[in-house]
Structure formats: structure tokens, C-alpha cells
Amino acid sequence: MGNGPGCDAAPRTSSPDAGRPVSSPSARHNAQRRNRCFVSTQQTGPAAPHSIRSRAGSPARHGAPPPHVSGISPLPVDLAAMLDALPVGVALLDIDCSIRLMNRALETLTGFTTAEVRGIPCRHALRASICLYRCPLRRPLTTASGVTVATASGAHYDMIDDGELPPAQEGDILNRHRRRIPVRMSMSPLRDADGRVVGWLHAVEDLTLVRELEEKTAKGEAFGPLVGRSVAMERVFQALPAVAQNDGPLLVTGETGTGKDTLAEAVHKASSRAREPFVKASLSSLPEFLAESELFGHRKGAFPGAEENKPGRFRLAQGGTLYLTEIGDLPLSIQGRLLAFLDEGVIYPVGATDPVACDVRLVVATNRDPEQLVAEGRLREDLFRRLSAVRLHLPPLRDRGEDIEFLLNHFMGHFAARMKKTVRGCSGKALRTLLDYPFPGNVRELRNIAEYAVTLCHGETVMPAHLPAYLFQAKAEARRAERERRTGRVAGAFGQPGSPDASDTTGDAQASPGDGGEHLARTSVSDLERRLIADALQRTGNRRGEAAELLGWGRSTLWRKMKQYGMC
């Protein structure tokens, strides 16, 4: 190495070791050194490597003549340009651990240029968490092995053999812009032609992306309070940011308990309307005239009992988002007025003759198939077309695969922290019971089960005894249904009347959609729901709110299902 002021590796010091035989660790390198490249800052005359130097490493940038590497090509190579091509941050330090050169990646990482920090101790420029107390290069003079050298400043360091240096250390750096960046750092000695350590090469790798990836893998994807890591939910998460930024109406579909309300609120919070109100309206249980008044407001005297002007949900949501929970339950007349709002941006309060302009984003949801609602005449087709321009479907929990276990752990961790318990997970049997359960109440039901289990569990592991009894009842019902289905198949295979073609055993065995097996399964799910409702009502002394809570359903869902099964 040269002796110039650049990345000179030759000791400028009057080292006591200079000129004397090197120790065995250094001697090991002597055999290799003939094949090495060396750094020099001396100008190489007319044959300077213009093509390389022009890329980077100009004298102005580093505040000193650019160092060169000789021995790898006929002409010396610009060292700075060579290091700039590396994707990791690299610093060359002298024997005192002062900065001599940083490549562009490290300049970007630290926010300092080589010209600014050249010659100062590396701990001040890199500011890594290991610098102050765990620096591998600053050790007391206690080791018997190794060569002791004196540095320019007179300080003595215990020289470290290559083998003694830790392979890499992880920590963080605090850059000029006050940002903390996770990094992996490694250190290698720079040796002169005689094998003496004359400086250090410090490599700093940015781990920000790695950490983000690790965090994402551990936590799963998330959009506001919505979490999950199944493929089905990943698709939803990918679409959500763009959907949030779109200001048009949004239709959210999904079974009860899949998180439609949460999604609607998360979309609002991620939208440009986030600072304005988010107003939720659940009008399914209101008579038509009240629903109309609730939604659009009314004028004083519009109908008997209208003693004051009422703004209505639309005007309460002015500038923000109005979320309608069940579009299929809205009377057709109100649907028509919604369509008028979407087309003209105005509403007509009950009893008013003049339109009122409303700047509101409309988000509507349904837990039924909207196409089916249109076919049944319960949803206006023109409104559906208008709403379904942007449509999001939340998959049921049973289609979310690994999310069941992930969400279970997520909710159990949440409730364990809230209840100050140390519940860490489920036993194998408890987990199998949960994984076999169809979760008709979806995520809401899973959340309630997790809360119930954590409440009852006093140890670290949730056992089957800590789970609600109806899960086992459901399991037994499912087994019974399965048995019945198989019995039906065997009967069918022997050509009983009304059974599928007895010779078509393949199709029967696969239980293709629309066959008797699926019908039986559907019947048993309805039957199961009926029993669950009856059981819940019995347990709660016929208090519907508590029964809905126990089942993991909303009150309106319970009401609808009771109506569907003729239970009210």
C-alpha cells in the first residue's frame, strides 16, 4: 500500500513492529499476499484509468486524491468507484479507526459524505449501537497472543487476529437525519505488503427490509384492525389501499362476522376523508318512514311527531363516509333515493322541497349474494350496478385456511394481555376441535371463543374444557351428518328410489355440488343453527342481545336467522 493521505494502509506511525518479523497470524497471510491487490493514492501518470474514475470518486467528492488499486488490471483502478458499485455500505478505516473513505451506499445510509467525516473516529460518523461498548476493534491490552501495535495517536490496541474478529454483529445506526436503521456490520483487517494490519474494512448492511419482512411474517398482513395472512386475505389487503383512495361508492360483501364493519371503517381511515366523520347506519329493523327520516333527515312538521328539523345520517356524515350495514334490507323506495344521491350528489330530507347537497362517500354492505338479491327483486339492479363498480368480498373464515390458527393466537394474545394472563396457546385437542368447527359466526365468533377460553383458562395452555360446550355439540352433529350422508350414499349405491344413478359411483363418491350429500349437509347446518339459537336463548333466559353475543353474531343477524327459521 502506498503512503499517501488517501486510503493509505501503510502505517504512518513509528510502530514498534515496523521492520521486525511479524507474528505467526500475520505470517499466515504472507503466502497469500503476493496475489493480492494494493491500494495507492499516488497518481499513476498519463496512464490513469479515466474510464473508471469518471464514474465516481472525483477528488472533489472525497476531498483528497482518489485512491487506486493496482494489480488487478494493467492500469490502476479507482478504488472509490469500485466500492461505489457495491450494494452494501463500506468504510475504510485507518489503524486508529478513523474514517478514510466511505462508499456511496454508506454515505446514503449515514447521511454524511466522506469529505465531511474523513479523519474522524468512525464511532462519530457511523454511530452504530456496537460502537461505544462492543466495538470489536477496541480491546484492552490483556491478551497474551497477538501483536501489539502503537498507533499514530500513541494509543495501544490489542491487535486482533482475523480469526478473533466476530463474523458479523447486528445492531443499528443513527443517521444524520435522526433515523434509526437496523444493520449488520462486519470488520476485516487491511494488511500491507508485509502482512501487517494497517487499517480496517467495515461493511455495513442495511437490514430495514429484512426486519420489515420478519415483522410482516410474524404479524401477518394487516390493514387497520383487519389482520390475516391467508392467500384470500392477502388479495383483499393488496386491493385495499387503492380502494381507500378511490372516492366512489364501495360495496362490501361477506358473511356475518367476517369484518365488513371493520373493513368499512378501515377504508374510511385510510382515505382522504379520514379527518371527517364516519357514520354507520343500521336501518334493517326500522319501519320504512323512520328509516327514510333517519337516513335523509326531515323538516319540522313533515309528519306527526316531527317537532324539530333532523339532519339525518347523510348530513351528519358531511365530508366523510356513510356506511350502510345491510343494503338488502332497505326498502326499494329508499334505494331509489340512494341512487338519486349517487347520480346527483343531493338528498331530499323528508318534507323538504329543495335538494340538499351532500359530499359523502357511500359504503354499503350485505351478507347475502347481491346478484341473488337483484334476482329476488330486493335490490334495485340499477343501484347494484352503480354500487358494484368497486366491490370487495371478505371470505368466510372457513375459506381462510391458516388464518383460523393465526387469528386464534392473535385474539388469545390480545385477551391474555388485557386480562393479565399468561395464556400462550391451545392444546392439540383443543386446536383440532377449533380447526374442525365451521365457524358460522366467522371471525366475530372466533374472537368470542378466544375471549371465553382465555377467561376460563388459568394456566398457559387452553384445554378442551376451556372451550364453549356448543363446539363439541357441533362436532357431534357434524359427525352424525357425515354418518347419515355416508349411509345415504351406500343406500344410493344399491339403487334405492330417488337416489343418483347407482352405476355412477365415482360422481357420488365425490359428492359434487348439487347432489344429495350437499343438500343433507346444508340441511344439517340449518338444523345446527336452529339448535344453537335455541340453546343460546335458553342459556341467556331468552335475552336476545346476550344470545347474539354468545353466538358471536350481531343482534340483527340473530333476529334475521330467527325469522328465517320461524323462531320469532
Partner 1 sequence: MPATLLIPLYRDEVAPRFDLAGEALLVHLDADGAELSRSSVLLAHASSEELCRIALEEKVRVVICNGIDDEFWQYLRWKRIEVIDNVMGPVDEAIARFRADALRPGDILFHRSDA
Q: Contact positions toward partner 1, by CB under 8 A?
A: 5, 63-64, 116-121, 123-125, 127, 129, 131-133, 174-180
Nearest distance from C-beta of residue 48 to partner 1, angstroms: 22
Nearest distance from C-beta of residue 125 to partner 1, angstroms: 7
Cβ within 8 Å of residue 45, ≥6 positions away = none
Nearer to partner 1, 136 or 464 (CB): 136
Q: Where are the alpha helices (DSSP H) in 246-287?
A: 260-269
- Residue 283 · residue 330 · CB < 8 Å: yes
Nearer to partner 1, 5 or 351 (CB): 5
Q: Residue 278: which of 294, 292, 267 has the closest Cα?
A: 267
Nearest distance from C-beta of residue 177 to partner 1, angstroms: 8
Nearest distance from C-beta of residue 568 to partner 1, angstroms: 56
Nearer to partner 1, 12 or 36 (CB): 12
Distance of CA 94 to the CA centre of its chain: 43
Nearer to partner 1, 131 or 394 (CB): 131
Nearer to partner 1, 127 or 280 (CB): 127
Nearest distance from C-beta of residue 140 to partner 1, angstroms: 15
**What cell numbers appear for 238 in the block?**
393488496
Distance of CA 555 to the CA centre of its chain: 31
User: CA-CA distance, 97 to 86, in Å (whole number)?
Assistant: 21
Nearer to partner 1, 80 or 244 (CB): 80
SS3 content of the chain, % helix, strand, coil (to 5): 45, 15, 40
- The upper half-sphere exposure of residue 339, i.e. CA atoms within 13 Å in the direction of its Cβ, equals 16
Nearest distance from C-beta of residue 475 to partner 1, angstroms: 50
- Residue 279 · residue 271 · CB < 8 Å: no
Nearer to partner 1, 119 or 241 (CB): 119
Nearer to partner 1, 187 or 551 (CB): 187
Phi, psi of 251 (to 5 degrees): -110, 125
Nearer to partner 1, 1 or 394 (CB): 1
User: CA-CA distance, 211 to 164, in Å (whole number)?
Assistant: 28
Phi, psi of 159 (to 5 degrees): -65, 140
Nearest distance from C-beta of residue 4 to partner 1, angstroms: 9
Nearer to partner 1, 112 or 314 (CB): 112
- Residue 219 · residue 212 · CB < 8 Å: no
Nearest distance from C-beta of residue 180 to partner 1, angstroms: 6
One-letter amino acid identity for 238?
Answer: Q
Nearer to partner 1, 129 or 433 (CB): 129
Q: Residue 240: which of 367, 387, 390, 383 has the closest Cα?
A: 390
Parallel, antiparallel, or unpaired: how do β-strands 250-254 and 361-366 relate? parallel
Phi, psi of 369 (to 5 degrees): -75, 115
Nearest distance from C-beta of residue 137 to partner 1, angstroms: 15
Q: Residue 340: which of 292, 281, 287, 289 has the closest Cα?
A: 292
Nearest distance from C-beta of residue 37 to partner 1, angstroms: 23
Cβ within 8 Å of residue 107, ≥6 positions away = 113, 114
Nearest distance from C-beta of residue 204 to partner 1, angstroms: 15
Cβ within 8 Å of residue 294, ≥6 positions away = 281, 283, 286, 312, 313
Which helix (H) or strand (E) segment holds residue 288: the answer is helix 288-296
